[in-house]
Amino acid sequence: MSEIPDSLHYTEEHEYLRGTDTDGEYYVGITDYAQGELGDVVFVEMPGVGDSFSRMDVFGTIEAVKAVSDLYAPISGEVIEVNATLEDDPALVNSDPYGEGWMIRIRASDPGEMDSLMSSADYMAHIDE
């Protein structure tokens, strides 16, 4: 059974959004379910700091032993930090997807887009379909 924390927001494409100590800034990564489906992550291609994305734009790719998948921005905003640790240790996405395995930190440009994301219960129903 995949871990689906109640405190996060989710997309149908299996990204999550986790709040930070700063209003309007969020960590983005892939869910425990997604990393389990991908298998062993061997590479993560991420954007640069200062890049901006609209909701559901592709912001990077994730490569696992058995697949390469696009990564989608859950909300519109500007990348203010990239998890450089993943360059040397992409397996953190597998071992700690909601902690050290985060990918980017984004400053939201349209906080109203949060309403389009799923709750943990909604996401659980989505992956059980």
Domain boundaries, the chain: 9-111
Give the pLDDT band of residue 61 (cuts 50, 70, 90): very high
Residues in the chain, total: 129
This prediction's pTM? 0.95
Distance of CA 1 to the CA centre of its chain: 19
9-111 architecture in CATH? Beta Barrel (2.40)
Report the SS3 class of residue 115.
helix
What pLDDT does residue 66 have? Answer: 84
Sole residue written with tokens 């071992």: 95
Per-residue pLDDT reduced to its tens digit, 72-110: 999 999 999 999 999 999 999 999 999 999 999 999 999
Contact between 110 and 76 under an 8 Å Cβ cutoff? The reply is yes
User: Within a 13 Å sphere around the CA of 12, how many CA atoms are in the beta-carbon half?
Assistant: 4
Percent of all residues in the chain with a pLDDT value above 70, rounded to a whole number = 98
18 vs 14, 65, 73, 129, CA distance in Å?
A: 13, 27, 13, 24
pLDDT at 111 (0 to 100): 85
Q: What is the distance, to the nearest Å, from the Cα of residue 90 to the centroid of all Cα atoms in its chain?
A: 14
Q: Who contacts 71 (Cβ-Cβ below 8 Å, separation ≥6)?
A: 15, 28, 30, 44, 46, 58, 59, 60, 61, 62, 103
The enclosing H or E element of 124 equals: helix 120-127
